[in-house]
Amino acid sequence: MTDSPLRLLLAFDAQARRDTSQPPAFLHRRDRKFALVCEQQGVTPEANRWLAHLNRLSGPGTKPSAANQPLRFWRRVSTGFAAVGMVAGVFAMVGLLFYDGGQRINITVLLAFVLLQLLLALLTAVQSLAGWQPWRWLLRRFQGTPTQGVINRLQPVLMARSAHLGGLCFAISGLVTLLVMVVVQDLAFGWSTTLETAAANYHRLVQIIAAPWAWLWSAAAPDLTLIEATRFFRAGTGNTSPDPARWGQWWPFVTMLWLTWVLLPRLLLWVLTSMLLRHRARRLLSHHPAMRALLYRMETPALDTGNAHNDAADLPDTGLRNNLLPMPDSDILLCWAGAGEPELPDTLSSGKQLVLRAGGRASLADDEQVLSQIGTHCHGADSKAVILLTRCWEPPTGELQDFLESARDVWPDGTRVALVPLAADSTREPDAHQVQPWLRFAERLGNDFVRVSLPPLQPQPNPYTTSGEPS
């Protein structure tokens, strides 16, 4: 008998417990990949194949499976039961057949002992089926560390299997002892009971007991004459039998009695328990929550959202700047890429001789014309400053950079540009975070040709006074 479903279950359970400390995404990728390989090879991704696959990948020298530990423990328990059963069988049979020549070996006692054995075997079977574990405390004591996982649910059956194995060994060694003693000793069997039983009644009982083998071996089913001849009484003299050889004629019955009612039931129950164990192990494996999760992982495609790329630390310079300068006096106002639309604020437009537009919807040729126009104007002017209005929310782009670089070449030396970012609501100052890119842009240009200034705010009308009214 092989314990492979049990071994498989325990190995699976151990792997499932190890997997609980792995990230779910890893488990999913691993198992889905295995399922896909199985699909390619045309095989079903069963648990044993899965475990073999994992072990194979870990290579030689892998630690012995955690499943082996409980199996070893239960193998030791079984060996212990078998050894004890073997020794006990010899002693029990020697005790039962104790014969010093002066008395008879009472068949009734043998029948009672066999009945006891049968009852014990049945009790063990019932106990395992009902799942009672009155011996659990003892087990815990021997195991040292408490067992974990699915093995706990199999303990009643495992214990029953070991107990039946012990019983089987007991029966075998008892039978062997019986046969040896029949050969080496002259055993005298008889039957006796305190109850007033007629030989015919006893014969009926013996017939019922011997029914399973009577057709096979008639010598092992004692007839009425033998029963009548071998009855002895407590005060009997021992020589009531006409033929001393008749006392020994009971041995085939005793042998078959032991074989059929002690050995066979134990063998049968041991086989049944082993089958039950395999069945339960298979069932527990298929109902194992980790199995459900594994199947789910195998069936569900592994999704990768392409998030492996990491450049979060690779940011451009976003350090804060505070090199804002006051707005210079200038009579040139240049609106870049739609800044100041639809209406320029009075505080900016008043007193300006030249108000021009560039960038945005204007063509590059228009930009060049604006450049030369300002250049010409600056040649004759005292103050060589240009106010360049921008929309604070639009970031400075390469086009503006190109424009400013051309301006530096075209405009007379000493000309300065004040970049003035305007907020969407021109009566308000732009937000600090919207000004910062402009400060950094001016700094990146790397000269003092360009600087950044904030627009002068329009005086807010007093909502509590209207023009014409005395304040």
Partner 1 sequence: MTQAPTFAVVGHPNKGKSSVVATLSQNDAIAIALEPGTTRKRQAYPLTVDGRTLYTLVDTPGFQRPRRVLQWLEAHSVSASDHVDTVSAFVTQHRDDGRFTDECELLAPLLDGAGIIYVVDGSVPYSAEHEAEMTILRWTGRPSLALINSIGADDYSDTWQTALGQFFQVVRRFDAVRAPFEQHLSLLRAFGQLEPDWEAPLEQATQYLSGQRQQRRRQAASLVARALDDMMSFQEKRTLTAGQAAETSDGSLADQLRQRWYRHQRQREQTLRVEIEHLYQHQRIRRQEAELEWHSEHDLFSEDSRRAWAVSKRYLATAGFGAGAVSGAGIDALTLGSSLGTGALVGGLIGAAGSYLYGDRLALPALNIGVLRDGLKTATFGPVQDSQFGYVVLGRAIDHWWHISHRNHAGRDLLELEPADHHWLESLDKGSRKDIQQAFDKCRKRRPLDLRQREKFTDAIEQCMAVYDDWRLNRT
Taking the least distance from each CB to partner 1, the nearer of 75 and 140 is 140
From residue 219 to residue 258, the character string flagging contacts with partner 1 as x (rule: CB under 8 A) and all else as - is ----------------------------------------
Q: In angstroms, rounded to a whole number, what is the distance separating the alpha carbons of residues 356 and 333?
A: 6
Q: In angstroms, rounded to a whole number, what is the distance separating the alpha carbons of residues 191 and 139?
A: 42
Give the contacts of 57 (CB within 8 A, at least 6 positions apart).
none
Q: In angstroms, rounded to a whole number, what is the distance separating the alpha carbons of residues 351 and 46?
A: 87
Amino acid, res. 178: L
Taking the least distance from each CB to partner 1, the nearer of 95 and 306 is 306
Q: Does 317 bind partner 1 (CB under 8 A)?
A: yes
At 41, phi and psi to the nearest 5?
-85, -5
Which residues, numbered 375-434, are part of the site for partner 1 (CB under 8 A)? Answer: 391, 393-399, 402, 424, 433
Taking the least distance from each CB to partner 1, the nearer of 255 and 436 is 436
Q: Does 340 bind partner 1 (CB under 8 A)?
A: no
Q: Are strands 416-422 and 450-452 parallel, antiparallel or unpaired?
A: parallel
Instruction: Label residues 376-408 b or e (16+ Cβ within 10 Å = b).
Output: ebbeebeebbbbbbbbbebebeeebeebbeebe
CB of 350 to partner 1, least distance (A): 24
Q: In angstroms, rounded to a whole number, what is the distance separating the alpha carbons of residues 398 and 208?
A: 110
Number of neighbours of residue 308 by Cβ within 10 angstroms = 6
Within 13 Å and on the Cβ side, how many CA atoms surround 291? 19
CB of 374 to partner 1, least distance (A): 19
Number of neighbours of residue 264 by Cβ within 10 angstroms = 14
CB of 304 to partner 1, least distance (A): 5
Which window, 55-63, 101-109, 297-305, 379-387, contacts partner 1 (CB under 8 A)? 297-305
From residue 107 to residue 126, the character string flagging contacts with partner 1 as x (rule: CB under 8 A) and all else as - is --------------------
Q: Which of 178, 159, 179, 187 is nearest to 76 (CA)?
A: 159
Which residues, numbered 69-88, are part of the site for partner 1 (CB under 8 A)? Answer: none
CB of 167 to partner 1, least distance (A): 28
Q: Is 237 helix (H, G, I), strand (E, B) or coil?
A: coil
Q: Are strands 189-190 and 332-336 parallel, antiparallel or unpaired?
A: unpaired
Among 45, 89, 149, 340, binds partner 1 (CB under 8 A): 149
Q: Does 301 bind partner 1 (CB under 8 A)?
A: yes
Among 305, 350, 462, 467, binds partner 1 (CB under 8 A): 305
CB of 40 to partner 1, least distance (A): 12
Q: In angstroms, rounded to a whole number, what is the distance separating the alpha carbons of residues 212 and 235?
A: 35
CB of 349 to partner 1, least distance (A): 20
Q: What is the DSSP letter of 42?
A: T
Tokens of 422: 């305007």
From residue 341 to residue 380, the character string flagging contacts with partner 1 as x (rule: CB under 8 A) and all else as - is ------------------xxx-xx----------------
Q: Does 184 bind partner 1 (CB under 8 A)?
A: no
Q: In angstroms, rounded to a whole number, what is the distance separating the alpha carbons of residues 367 and 358?
A: 5
Within 13 Å and on the Cβ side, how many CA atoms surround 435? 21
Taking the least distance from each CB to partner 1, the nearer of 203 and 280 is 280
Taking the least distance from each CB to partner 1, the nearer of 212 and 360 is 360
Taking the least distance from each CB to partner 1, the nearer of 86 and 339 is 339
From residue 129 to residue 148, the character string flagging contacts with partner 1 as x (rule: CB under 8 A) and all else as - is -------------------x
Q: Is 142 helix (H, G, I), strand (E, B) or coil?
A: helix
Q: Please, what is the end-to-end C-alpha distance for the chain in angstroms? A: 110
Taking the least distance from each CB to partner 1, the nearer of 234 and 361 is 361
Taking the least distance from each CB to partner 1, the nearer of 284 and 418 is 284
Please give the size of the binding site for partner 1, defined by CB under 8 A. 56
Q: Does 23 bind partner 1 (CB under 8 A)?
A: yes
| Binding interface with partner 1 (CB under 8 A) | 20, 23-25, 28, 32, 36, 148-150, 152-153, 288-290, 296, 300-318, 337-338, 359-361, 363-364, 391, 393-399, 402, 424, 433, 436-437, 440
